[in-house]
Amino acid sequence: MAVRSIFRWPNQRCALCRLPLRDGDHYWCQHCVASLPRPPYCRRCGATTLEPVSHCGHCLRQPPPWDQLVRLGEYGFPLNRLVQQYKFQGKFWLSQPLAALLAEQMTEPAPLLLPVPLHPWRRFIRGFNQSALLAEALAELTGGDADHQTLRRIQRARPQHQLSRKARQQNLQQAFILNKRVWPDHVAIVDDVVTTGSTVSVLSQLLRKQHVARIDVYCLAFTPHYR
C-alpha cells in the first residue's frame, strides 16, 4: 500500500546508524530498514513460515479468532530495540515512522482501528499508550479512524511480558470491556508486540460477540514461539 509521509527527521541522519539520509529516506536509511527482521509469515496467525502463506498448518487445525495479522517484523534486532525505545524509554514520536513502515504492509486497511488499551494506572505511569499512538498514526496514513473509547481495560494486572503463555491467558480473564457502538464490517486491533496472541484473542472474541465480520490485527513485532 502506498502511504504518504507525515514526518521528516530534522537531523538528516539515520536514527539507527547515524549515516546521512538520502532523498526518499525518512528517519532511517534504507540499509537499516532492510536489516529489520522480516522473514515470511502466515498472514492468518502471524507465525514465521518458510514462505508467505495465507494459512499455516496450525491455522487450518485451530484458526485464531481474528482473520488476518499484519506485522512489521519479528521481535529481533534492531526492531526489538526500536520497540523498547518507543515503549519504555518515552520516545513516543517513533509511532509515526514505525506506523509508516507497517502501513506499507497493508493491502486493505481497516476503516476502524482499535488500540489495545492500558489500565489507567499503567498509562499514567508510562505517560502514553503506545498502541493508541500507533493507531492514530496508522489512521492518518490510511484514512481510517482510531477509536480510543470503545475498548477499555478495567482490571489492573501484571505486565504480559513478565508471564508465561498459560499465565497470560489467565491474566486476561475479564480484563476488558467493550462499549457499545455501530460497527463497520472491518475492524483492526492495534498492538505494539504480539507474543502468544492472548490479548488480541480476548479482544477478538469480544468483537465477534458484536458480530464484527472481519477482524485484523496490526502489530509492529511478533515474538516467535514454539506451539
Q: Does a structural domain hold residue 167?
A: yes
Whether residue 216 is contained in a domain is answered as yes
Residue 33 inside a domain? The answer is: no
**pLDDT tens-digit profile of 150-177?**
998 887 655 555 555 555 555 666 688 8
Q: Identify the residue with better confidence: 46 or 196.
A: 46
**Would residue 50 count as lying in a domain?**
yes
Stretch (H or E) spanning 153: strand 151-153
Whether 123 is covered by a domain: the verdict is yes
> What is the pTM assigned to this prediction?
0.87
Question: Residue 79: which domain range?
Answer: 39-222
- Domains: count for the chain: 1
| CB-based contact 104:110 (threshold 8 Å) | no
The per-residue pLDDT for range 31-61, each reduced to its tens digit, is 999 999 999 999 999 999 999 999 999 999 9
Compute the half-sphere exposure of residue 177: CA atoms within 13 Å on the CB side of its CA. 7
Residue 134 covered by a domain? yes
In a domain, 194, yes or no: yes
Q: What is the CATH number of the domain that holds 144?
A: 3.40.50
Coil, helix or strand at residue 103 = helix
